[in-house]
Amino acid sequence: MKPKYHILNNAKYALEGIMALFKNEIAFRIEICIIIPAILISFFLKVSLIEHLILIAVLILILIAESFNSAIEACVDLITDKWHQRAKIAKDCASAGVFFSLILALFAWIFILVDLI
């Protein structure tokens, strides 16, 4: 039987997920070390509220994509420890999602920062 929904339990599970990302994913730790200072820097930029929200949103999107990537990799690793073409495709596609989020963030930051010059 599925346990009843409880917002505090769900928040606890989300925090446990964040801790698992910190503990097990070096890419997540590297991204956090870049994203937190970038968010702090964004507060000092002379940009509109919408531009500021875009700068922060694209950075958060990277963390979201990395979270899904890590979840997919964990599920694939749970199913098989052997190399399989479909497992590779699943992991590579999840990794592509992170790559696309990084490219989006890079273009958004460049576009907005170049507009400041």
Radius of gyration, alpha carbons of the chain: 17
User: What letter would DSSP give residue 117?
Assistant: -
3-state secondary structure (DSSP) of residue 76: helix
DSSP secondary structure letters along 78-115: HH-SS--HHHHHHHHHHHHHHHHHHHHHHHHHHHHHHH
Q: Is 51 a catalytic residue?
A: no
The amino acid occupying position 99 is F
Q: Of the listed 25, 31, 51, 66, which one is catalytic? A: 66
Nearest to 52 by CA among 63, 38, 32: 38
Catalytic residues: 66
